[in-house]
Amino acid sequence: MKRQSGSFMAIIFACASLLSGILAPARQAVAQTSPIRLVALGDSLTAGYGLPESAAFPTVLERALKAKGYNVEIANAGVSGDTASAALDRLDWSVPDGTDGVILELGANDMLRGLDPAIPRQTIESIVERLKSRDIPVMLTGMYASRNLGTDYVKKFDSLYPDIANRHGLVLYPFFLDGIVGDQSLNLADGLHPTAKGVEIIVRRILPTVETFLASLSRR
């Protein structure tokens, strides 16, 4: 009788081990299929001014990341004409709970309006701090001031992005429009907004930095 009981228990243990072996990969597969949810928060450069939705920066970036094997979803929270202050006002509903990270692109409209660089500096930092308080990491993209605004203005404006990134330990992409500024073929007639081809170049150049940001999220 003891021998039969021992055999019965051995069968139970074997079945339990088999079931565990089946369920563990299944749980792992479920975890792997959960996408990384990013929000691109910005102005018209993020929104895709003058372009179809399929050609807007967040859509093109999501497509490029998926082509490299990343399981991501990028929400377009760009609003044309937004200053940094306007984006701060809508921050809570633009970046919902459950967001894994934010790509922040703001300040161009502050600069074009000639606002004191201290204003976007304070506001962008407030956005970063509020997102950090919600445990939402931020990747910051920088902007350069138009050189005709004068040396003092340029120095104060350009420096706000690396200063904030250094203070808060953020992944920084120094200049969002790198590679397309001044090239008429890559910008719309207004000379301020990228064409679909221009967006593709922006995405190609920013992609390694976004991958660094995603790697930082996986280490959390």
Catalytic positions, written as ranges: 44, 190, 193
Q: Who's near 185: CB < 8 A, 6+ residues apart? A: 195, 197
CA distance 46 to 34: 25
CA distance 183 to 187: 7
Give, rounded to a whole angstrom, the gap between the first and last alpha carbons of the chain: 54
Phi, psi (deg, nearest 5) at residue 171? -70, 130
- Beta carbons of 201 and 186 less than 8 angstroms apart: yes
Nearest to 207 by CA among 215, 218, 219: 215
Distances (CA, A) of 44 to 22, 59, 76, 192, 194: 49, 14, 11, 10, 10
